Amino acid sequence: MNPSQKSGLEAWLEVIRDQKMPIFEQTVHHILSIAEDDLAPASALASVVLQDASLTTRLLKLANSIAYNPSTTAISTVTRAVIVLGFDAVRDMCLTLTLVDTLLQGPAKARLERELAHAMHAATQARALAIVRGDKSPEEVFIATLLYRVGELAFWCFGNEHCERVEQLANQPGITMETAQERVLGFRLSQLSRRLVHEWRLTDLLKEAIDSPARQDPRIQTVMLGHQIARCAEEHGWRSEEMGRLERRAARLVDVSEADARTLLQDKAAVAFGMANDCGATASARLIPLPEEYRSLLDALPTEPDAEPPAGETPPPPAHPIPDSRLQLSILRELNSAIESARCDFNVIMELVLEGLYRGVGMDRVIFALMTPDRRGLKAKHALGMANETTIAAFQFARPAIGTNILFETLDRQRPRLVTLAERERDPHLVPEGLLAIMGIVPFMIAPIIISQKSIGLFLADRGLSQRPLDPESFEEFKHFVQQANLGLTLAQSRQRR
């Protein structure tokens, strides 16, 4: 639909609904829903991220950056990133990376680069102030600040010729950006932000901040101050009287001296610069105003603005993970560390094995299923590479009243199997019809999860989507990962009994 066919705010809301802005599609909504569930295990977040190969690759790059990992301890798995950096930090990275992808593909490139620079700088400042103030969730403050101008971001993504008209009018003497928006669109983009925040059911703090920005609530004021600091740095610089007033406000808000507040804000400008660059938004990093003592950071960027392709233009990752022996070794080391830990966690072990099989061994699909308490059924708990949650939910099987099938035979005999097409032809009843509907007619590998000589579930993996062969080497690697899980879980159980 063309917004000119219908006037006002409702028309633009309809345009954005039709466009389906990527940051608010399934992955991000799933991440936010997990974040709001206090009982959700950390492994649940890792599982969502791993479904997106591009997000996984870029998240791990960011997780190893100075901004998030100053210890420089290598992080090679999403599961490890959640454990080391924390649930909230990984959630932040996911949202930031998805926002970068969305904006760098928009047509109004120059304006979007400025908006992205402002959003990342403001969010970094607000999170730093929240940390010093002792906020209950600085990461929630980060997200609220990052997405506070979501209407502006959406408009510059999809506004097409309207973007140019607003920009041209705003550049005329005596006309502010807000006035230009009202004249061209009939409303301010801040109104669009408010409607989108509620329609997309974003975080409660963001709703409160956008509905009542002047409310004297420390968290809301932290969000607003983050934006004011970023805007002041852009328009007046770090040594201006205007910035001095904001430094005094920051000092009062977090109860530190003005000198300490000044140092904090200037340091965080450099952190925002580094984060933008690490996220692949090099052009936006250049637009974050740096204090004089940090200007040398610009020398580390490519000399030409387009020397590095934008995140949205980088070559796409392979459609399916390819075997990586080095990554396998790295994940096995992490798995051993998790097993040796005094607080060995069942979900962490299972998630590391899933990630090892999926990314390390190079499987198209991996399913982790557990037996029901009465041991009469089998139900999937986590899966990677599956099309959607409905497909995963369909993996539920009851033990046959007569005879058996490959699922329960594996559990009862406690032996891994490489099920070939030839075997399936010899025994048509080997694979249950429900599994055929989920996986198709493909070879697959299956192995039991055994704790203290008792089967509790299984792993199943295949390369049916890419039609790549399941060779004996891959089967050995598959068995090794599952064996490590079995050893670790048995060890963990024995510790609990002591």
Q: 185-198 burial, b for 16+ CB within 10 Å, e for fewer?
A: bebbbebbbbbbbe
Query: pTM of this prediction?
Result: 0.72
Cα–Cα distance list, 59 to 51, 79, 488 (Å):
13, 11, 27
What is residue 370's predicted lDDT score, i.e. its pLDDT? 94
Place of tokens 């920051």: 250
Dihedral angle of Cα 66, 70, 74, 78, to the nearest 10 degrees: -80
Residue with tokens 């530190």: 256
**What integer pLDDT is reported at residue 306 of this predicted model?**
45
Q: Does domain 3-313 have CATH number 3.30.420.10?
A: no
> CA 405 from chain center: how many Å?
38
Give percent of the chain with pLDDT exceeding 70: 87
Residue 293 one-letter amino acid: E
In the prediction, which pLDDT does 312 show?
46
Q: Which residue ranges make up each domain of the chain?
A: 3-313, 325-497
In this structure, which topology does domain 325-497 adopt according to CATH?
Answer: Beta-Lactamase (3.30.450)
Residue ranges of the chain whose pLDDT lies below 70: 1-7, 19-29, 32, 35-43, 72, 102-108, 302-317, 342-344, 387-390, 495-498
With b meaning 16 or more CB within 10 Å and e meaning fewer, what string describes 132-161? Answer: bbebebbbbbbbbbbbbbbbbbbbbbbbee
Long-range contact set of residues 160-169: C-beta below 8 Å, sequence gap at least 24: 160/107, 162/3, 163/107, 163/108, 163/111, 164/108, 167/108, 167/111
Q: List helix spans (H) across 72-217.
A: 78-85, 87-103, 109-133, 138-146, 150-158, 161-170, 177-185, 189-199, 204-211
Q: Which residue has the tokens 């499987």?
A: 363
- H helix or E strand, kind and range, residue 487: helix 472-497
What kind and span of H or E run contains 217?
Answer: none
pLDDT at site 303: 57
Beta-sheet strand order (sheet of 377-384): 396-398, 377-384, 365-371, 454-462, 444-451, 417-419
Pairing state of beta strands 417-419 and 454-462?
Answer: unpaired
C-alpha 76/C-alpha 331 separation (Å) is: 7
Q: pLDDT by residue (tens digit) across 335-383?
A: 888 777 766 678 788 888 999 999 999 999 999 999 999 989 999 988 8
Half-sphere exposure in the Cβ direction for 441 (13 Å, CA): 7
Q: What's the rounded Cα separation, in Å, for the pair 307 and 300?
A: 12
Crossing angle of helices 189-199 and 204-211, rounded to 10°: 150
